[in-house]
Amino acid sequence: MLAARGALRRGRLPAAGVGVGSVRLRGPPRLPPHVVDLRSDTVTRPCAAMRRAMARAAVGDDDYGEDPTVNELQCLAAGILGMEETLFVPTATMANLIAVMCHCQRRGAQLLLGRDSHLHVYEHGGAAQVAGVHSQALPDLPDGTFDLELLELTIREAHGSRYHPRPELLCLENTHNSAGGRALPLAYLQQVRGLADRYGLRVHMDGARLMNAAVAQNVEPARITQHCDSVSLCFSKGLGAPAGAVLAGRREFIAEAWRMRKMLGGGMRQAGVLAAMARVGLEHMGVTLRRDHDNARRFAEGIQELSSPLCSVNLAAVETNIVMVNISGSCSSPAELCEHLQAVSEEELAETGHAVSVLLFPWSAHAVRAVWHRNVSAHDTELAKNKLEFVARKCREKLALGLRPTPPNAEGA
């Protein structure tokens, strides 16, 4: 599974006109298979408007505060997020780390966060390694929220106790990636804010996909962020830019964040070329994110209609651009299903008239993740759905013959 994950991560795509996986398309050279890449919303390529904006961007030395395009983006993002100021940073990981460093200025402070949150699992323990902060990880519920009673119990236990690290910061993730792109309910955010205020904690939101939440809930992003002291927003996910994120908060917080960014990586200089593309992403987001959510839902409905023993989906959990497909262990593993979907065969071409390679991410021992983004059209979604239906049918046929539906390269087909 790890090897397959590695290959998918590295994007080992089928080569044009040659074998796909180890499945060779025999006969005269054909068009390369059509690739639908649903591994992540980070795989997008900048659109023509972004490239134009990059070429035209007015730039200056951002370290002196003289890059007009960065300054404009920071102001625009602050307005959208309803925060006093924002700071442009290279990645959402850096935005989250800076937030932890600024909110927790005492070594050994306690940060409460989700056990499955990106900050806890995928950011290389920056909170501990760099910020010197102790993480208290709580279970994430299936909808990406915390059990508020457990959260309060955990805070109360440490609050005012000289035997525990001091709880200072609470981090939320919205949308919640591991929960399948769930948008945190507004009423829940209000309750979290109340709780944090009762115990004097700050609230940071990892809003790498915050705009997906705003579109799904049909609210202004500021309605969501009003419950937070700071929020990070990523431009290189659903918004489709090649790099960049902002950290947003109060003026003094952002002044401190600027110092931390300097310490972590120095000056951004003529970063306006990146900010220009991020701005195009912001301008287009209303249309692209809504379309991504609709396509994700259509795909999920297609899986539900299949009623396949191979895979299933909880439709109620599909709120934004992510679909977690649950895999039935008796048929295939997540990595094997990904291999089936990636491979292209003569049989597929003969039966469906298409050669489509669909890339998904083997997320856990029981699920694969599919993520929609601006480079996936409604037609691509239809092709991906048909491919899954084809793979499910082939697996069923094998099972009916008493055979295990091994991936194409294992068969040497």
- 112 to 151: interface string for ligand PLP, x by CB under 6 A: ------x---------------------------------
The strand order across the sheet containing 311-312 reads 311-312, 322-327, 367-371, 361-362
Where does this chain touch ligand PLP (CB under 6 A) — which range of 21-29, 87-95, 316-324, 396-404?
87-95
Within 263-405, strands assigned E span 311-312, 322-327, 356-359, 361-362, 367-371
CB of 59 to ligand PLP, least distance (A): 22
The smaller minimum CB distance to ligand PLP, of residues 322 and 391, is found at 322
- Please name the residue that has the structure tokens 């809930």: 217
CB of 90 to ligand PLP, least distance (A): 8
CB of 236 to ligand PLP, least distance (A): 6
The smaller minimum CB distance to ligand PLP, of residues 168 and 206, is found at 206
Q: Which two tokens stand for residue 103?
A: 């909110």
The smaller minimum CB distance to ligand PLP, of residues 5 and 398, is found at 5
Where does this chain touch ligand PLP (CB under 6 A) — which range of 88-96, 108-116, 131-139, 140-148?
88-96
Find the binding residues for ligand PLP in span 263-282 (CB under 6 A). none
Q: Judged by CB under 6 A, which of 37, 85, 116, 173 binds ligand PLP? A: 173
Q: Which residues of 96-122 are buried (b: 16+ CB within 10 A; e: fewer)?
A: bbbbbbbbbeeeebbbbbbebbbbbee
CB 408 within 8 A of CB 22: yes
Distance, in Å, from the CA atom of 346 to the CA atom of 26, rounded to the nearest integer, reads: 8
Count the Cβ atoms, other than its own, within 10 Å of residue 195: 18
CB of 188 to ligand PLP, least distance (A): 17
Q: Judged by CB under 6 A, which of 62, 85, 140, 206 binds ligand PLP? A: 206
CB 211 within 8 A of CB 238: yes
Find the binding residues for ligand PLP in span 217-246 (CB under 6 A). 234, 236, 245
91 forms part of the interface with ligand PLP (CB under 6 A) = yes
Q: Judged by CB under 6 A, which of 177, 212, 230, 381 binds ligand PLP? A: 177
Q: Are strands 361-362 and 356-359 parallel, antiparallel or unpaired?
A: unpaired
The smaller minimum CB distance to ligand PLP, of residues 230 and 332, is found at 230
Distance, in Å, from the CA atom of 404 to the CA atom of 265, rounded to the nearest integer, reads: 51
Q: Which two tokens stand for residue 61?
A: 């030395």
- In 3D space, the residue among 194, 213, 231, 237 whose CA is nearest the CA of residue 102 turns out to be 231
The smaller minimum CB distance to ligand PLP, of residues 110 and 232, is found at 232
CB of 44 to ligand PLP, least distance (A): 13
Binding site for ligand PLP (CB under 6 A): 91-93, 118, 173, 177, 206, 208, 234, 236, 245
